[in-house]
Amino acid sequence: MPIKIRKMETGDYSGALSLWQSLPGLGLSGADKEDAIFRFLEKNPETCFVAQDAEKIIGTVLGGSDSRRGYLYHLSVHKDYQRLGLGRQISEKCLAALKAQGLQKCHIFVIGNNLEGLKFWEKLGWLLRNDILVMSKNL
C-alpha cells in the first residue's frame, strides 16, 4: 500500500504523539496534550496533515495562522521513512493550504540544537533570521 498524505483528524492523535516522542529535536510541552491538539485541529482543519503507511502514522505537520502569517509545527517523519522526500511533500501540502487561505509568509520554530532540522529547512529554501528573537511567558 502506498504512503497516503491526508488531513489530520482527532483520531490520529495517539499515533502522532508516539511519532513525536520518538524523534530527537522535537520539543513537546503541555500545548501538545490531546485537548490542546484537538483545539488546534478544530481551528485549523485544512492545514494539518499526516502521512500514513497502512494504519501507521509516519509523518505529521501542524499548520496554523494568526490570519497574517502562517506557522508550521511538528513537521516530523518516522526515522525509517526519512530521506525519501516525505518531509518535503507533507510540508509543501501544508504550505499550499496556508497559501490558499491568502497567507503570504510562514514561520517555523526550530529547537536551537536541532542541527539536522536546521539543515533540512535550509535545504527547502527557508532562511534563518537573526533579526528576531523569540520570547515566551507561561500563562
Q: What is the DSSP string of 34-61?
A: HHHHHHHHHH-TTSEEEEEETTEEEEEE
Please tell me the predicted confidence (pLDDT) of residue 90: 97
Give the tens place of pLDDT for each residue, 69-114: 999 999 999 999 999 999 999 999 999 999 999 999 999 999 888 8
Please tell me the predicted confidence (pLDDT) of residue 122: 95
CA–CA separation, 51 vs 131, rounded Å? 34
Distance between alpha carbon 97 and the CA centroid of its chain, in Å?
13
Task: Give the predicted TM-score (pTM) of the model.
Answer: 0.93
Please report the domains of the chain, with CATH numbers, ordered by start residue: 4-123 (3.40.630.30)
Q: What is the Cβ-side half-sphere exposure of residue 84, based on CA atoms within 13 angstroms?
A: 14
